[in-house]
Structure 1
Amino acid sequence: MYRILIVLFLVFSLYSASAQNIILKDTIINDSKDSIPSYSHLYDISDGFKDISRFIRRDTSKKIIKKRSGISILPNINYNPSIGFQIGAKVVGGLYLGDPSKTTMSTFATALSYTTRGIIFGYLAHDTYTKQNKWNIKGGLVVAKMVALDYGMGMGNSISSTSLEESVLNNPERTRFVNEYTVYSLNERLYKNLLPGMFVGAGIFIELKRNIHTLGNPDTTPLSVYSNLTGYHPEKYNNNGLMINWQYMTRDNPNSAYKGIYADIVLRMSQTWMGSAQNALQLQTDFRKYWSLSKTRPNHVLAFWHWGSYSVDGKLAYLDLPGTGRDTYSRSGRGYTNGYFKGNSFFYSEVEYRFPILRNQFLSGVVFANIQTANDRLGTKLFERWEPAAGTGLRILFNKATRTNLCIDYALGRFGQRGLFLGLNEAF
């Protein structure tokens, strides 16, 4: 099955390579030579597609290089144990709103996809930088029918004696439940640049969850138990509020960084006066550091990632609890399905070594290991119990200008958890 998925994934990617354009504004292409990165020594899927086409046509004529479009249309294909196999379409684009040497590229993306687990997901996202990075506006809109695998709360530790409800919620046997719901989400954040690389800002989030239920209609589930214990409606609720944000960024590329730092700290404040079901405060942290280990081959990289979410006050609804794969792009915790571990507070760290296989960077590889911990309602504290995972993967250069890779990873965790993870761009 996995081999079939890989072949299908690569075939669709090759087919879309002709439509995958370098996301650069025309003014950059017309700029001075010093401002134009050199990619002539690199080889990506688009180059391979062109070479195959030339070989078939035996066309040796020289073509006039046309200006590259800032918009790309490509298949939105993915696979991991949480969502199954995903297929859909994605439109991405980018442009500079100021001098490229002083302004970060502004990007947008929209996609619609369907997965074999019955998930239907549509979104519109943007990340806009004004001239000289004075302001950064980012956010997005999501409408989706979600199907989420559920293994209870906490870290799966055994319990000696407690109530039936708490036993179901803790789920030491790691019995799998499947929750289905519809979500409508909107968030927007505005950042002001204060110092080089440093931004502060605020934002708003509106999240409406409806038609919540557990497939199979079991009498008692972790979702129903937690909702009864915390006073949340088991079938629908709102989570609306405000955000205060601090961000620091010096990494050289968001898709596959060779060096630099990315840090983001967010205080999320769910507010009943804004329509939220309950008041709650959650502090989220995201820190990434990259070290290039070679001057001649800079994609020899050691990368570190930390993601955490900590309860400051109040209680979140069950579907909003932080846990495995609950980061912004659902990339944490390779080796486990999304939400396999979760709690009111959650801590995650990962280290990854990235290395080239071919000198033209068409093929490269990674090895990685991660560890995570969460608290529970039975007295297990954060940092008291840890669960590890590890794996390895192959990278195929999809777009050399944006350092976009096709990522194929295989990872192993505990409790029999393991799986193949496919996607575009690095996990972090």
Structure 2
Amino acid sequence: MLKISLPFFLCFIVSSVNAQNASNAIKSNNQVTDTANKRDLIDIAKRLFNIQPGKERETNAEKKIFFSALPIGAHVPGGGRALITSTSAGFYTGNHKTTNISNVTFTPYWNFKSRFGLPLRSNIWLKNNAWNIQGDTRFLVYPQYTWGLGSGAEDHKLLVDYKYVRFYQSALKRIKPYMYVGLGYNLDYFINIKTAKPGLKEFTGYPYGTTYSKNEFSSGVTLNLLYDTRNSSINPLPGCYLNVILRNNPVYLGSKTNWQSLYIDARKYIQLNKKPNQQNVLALWTYAWTGLSSSIPYLNLPAVGWDPYNKSGRGMEQNRYRGKGLLYFESEYRRDITANGLLGFVVFANATSVTEVEKNRFKNIHTAVGSGLRIKFNKSSNTNIAIDYGVSKGYSGFMINLGEAF
């Protein structure tokens, strides 16, 4: 991991202090919860640099933006280390009591060689949660190992080099409390897909999207169904979540082949005590992802770590398991260490199964376990610095993020 000096790190915190006048409230179960007795890194920076709270601005409190920024060095998929700067902005577009907190995250990275990425993700809740607008835009220079379809052998892998452009946008309208339906547009553009010998087609035995030095373009519409009783995607408190995405990629929208896929994501957050100001939560996550046609480009097939937010499979190498169908389950226990919420910990375990080439059936289950430290960066948006370490067969690694994995 790249070393970050304390003054360099604190300058990011000071920038966050100057960029906001944090309110002493967050939402818990759709109620405003006092955070006056809570502490975060911004409070520590104020003490270190003797920053006095400014006068309360005479603007609508719901319009405040809560920034969090983190310069880190970490491993990236495909091998090597990278400098990653993660910036997250949480804000409300309406009254805190009736509107969920929105979030925009920008996480550029560069490994000083062949890896480069500009991912921008957004989850916007309009006033009174009438609409949910979701976005995912990326440009990646992305060499990454593949193990072929199914479980694959640990020592039998191939490095695939390509550039990747993603543009996903969707708009969902509330039709009843917590229930949303809407449409979206998904674009995937894989540019100049290359490998050393053997080629990707020979290595995988898969005919779609594996031709050497070719581009693969998929363009499709999505039908989205969302049920979400959480009040934050940054650090979910007790509630539940269900997201169903049916994607259709017709040739007349530019796709090379007609193909369809289905993604179903369910999550549950269980509070284990009755103290709303104390983190003591069991979080459960499962998703099923399957292709509904036989001509899906190889890099669009379901793979661990390639869920919409690239958060699954902690402790596994991204892309390690790929198939025409994928099942995933993860559980995590989250608990505060200090009463003021500054420090916390998690322990987690996950399991993945993909369809094997032979008979296209689920056969093997692959597991990973790990634990992590949580440091409260911004108590107003309830944003944590998440430092996790995960282990699976043949792989282990650290993961550092702003916000929870799910």
Q: Is the shorter-chain TM-score for this pair beyond 0.5, marking a shared fold?
A: yes
**CA displacement 1:94-115 (0-9 Å, x = unmatched):** 4433333222234434443213
In the alignment, the residues of structure 1 paired with residue 253 and residue 189 of structure 2 have an alpha-carbon distance, to the nearest angstrom, of 12
**CA displacement 1:110-161 (0-9 Å, x = unmatched):** 44321366321113433333332222222232222112122222113xxxxx
Check whether the contact 2:368–2:390 (CA below 8 A) recurs between aligned residues. Answer: yes
Q: Secondary structure at the match of 2:134?
A: strand
The gaps in structure 1 that reach 5 residues or longer are 157-171
Check whether the contact 1:76–1:86 (CA below 8 A) recurs between aligned residues. Answer: no
Check whether the contact 1:141–1:186 (CA below 8 A) recurs between aligned residues. Answer: yes
After TM superposition, give the deviation of residue 375 of structure 1 in Å.
0.7
In the alignment, the residues of structure 1 paired with residue 56 and residue 81 of structure 2 have an alpha-carbon distance, to the nearest angstrom, of 36
Larger CA Rg, structure 1 vs 2? 1
In the alignment, the residues of structure 1 paired with residue 119 and residue 314 of structure 2 have an alpha-carbon distance, to the nearest angstrom, of 23
After TM superposition, give the deviation of residue 92 of structure 1 in Å.
4.1
After TM superposition, give the deviation of residue 222 of structure 1 in Å.
4.3
Q: Which amino acid aligns with 2:48?
A: I
Q: Secondary structure at the match of 1:285?
A: strand
Q: Against the structure 1 CA distance between its residues 26 and 294, is the aligned structure 2 distance closer, same or farther, given a 3 Å change threshold?
A: closer
In the alignment, the residues of structure 2 paired with residue 73 and residue 358 of structure 1 have an alpha-carbon distance, to the nearest angstrom, of 21
Where does residue 363 of structure 1 map in the other structure?
A: 343
Q: Against the structure 1 CA distance between its residues 408 and 111, is the aligned structure 2 distance closer, same or farther, given a 3 Å change threshold?
A: closer
Q: Against the structure 1 CA distance between its residues 12 and 287, is the aligned structure 2 distance closer, same or farther, given a 3 Å change threshold?
A: farther
TM-score by length of 1: 0.83
After TM superposition, give the deviation of residue 427 of structure 1 in Å.
0.9
**CA displacement 1:218-242 (0-9 Å, x = unmatched):** 2x14455447634754421101111
In the alignment, the residues of structure 1 paired with residue 361 and residue 7 of structure 2 have an alpha-carbon distance, to the nearest angstrom, of 47
Where does residue 314 of structure 1 map in the other structure?
A: 294
Q: Which amino acid aligns with 2:286?
A: H
**CA displacement 1:189-209 (0-9 Å, x = unmatched):** 111101111101111111111
**CA displacement 1:388-412 (0-9 Å, x = unmatched):** 1101111111111111111111111
In the alignment, the residues of structure 1 paired with residue 291 and residue 238 of structure 2 have an alpha-carbon distance, to the nearest angstrom, of 32
Q: Secondary structure at the match of 2:186?
A: strand
- Aligned pairs for 1:153-302 within 5 A: 153-156=149-152, 172-214=153-195, 217-218=196-197, 220-226=198-204, 229-230=207-208, 233-234=211-212, 235-296=214-275, 298-302=278-282
Q: Secondary structure at the match of 1:245?
A: strand
- Find 2:390's aligned residue among 411, 416, 426: 411
Identity across aligned pairs (percent)?
Answer: 26
In the alignment, the residues of structure 2 paired with residue 395 and residue 93 of structure 1 have an alpha-carbon distance, to the nearest angstrom, of 18
Q: Against the structure 1 CA distance between its residues 21 and 245, is the aligned structure 2 distance closer, same or farther, given a 3 Å change threshold?
A: farther
Where does residue 132 of structure 1 map in the other structure?
A: 128
Q: Against the structure 1 CA distance between its residues 155 and 254, is the aligned structure 2 distance closer, same or farther, given a 3 Å change threshold?
A: same
Q: Secondary structure at the match of 1:19?
A: helix
Check whether the contact 1:28–1:35 (CA below 8 A) recurs between aligned residues. Answer: no
Q: Against the structure 1 CA distance between its residues 12 and 267, is the aligned structure 2 distance closer, same or farther, given a 3 Å change threshold?
A: farther
- Aligned pairs for 1:107-118 within 5 A: 107-115=103-111, 118=114
In the alignment, the residues of structure 1 paired with residue 41 and residue 89 of structure 2 have an alpha-carbon distance, to the nearest angstrom, of 19
Check whether the contact 1:262–1:288 (CA below 8 A) recurs between aligned residues. Answer: yes
Q: Which amino acid aligns with 1:53?
A: F
Over aligned residue pairs, what C-alpha RMSD do you find? 2.9
Q: Secondary structure at the match of 1:258?
A: coil
Matched, 1:386 2:365: yes
- Aligned pairs for 1:68-147 within 5 A: 70=65, 72=67, 74-75=69-70, 77=72, 79-80=74-75, 82=77, 84-89=80-85, 91-115=87-111, 118-147=114-143
The gaps in structure 2 that reach 5 residues or longer are none
Larger proportion of helix: 1
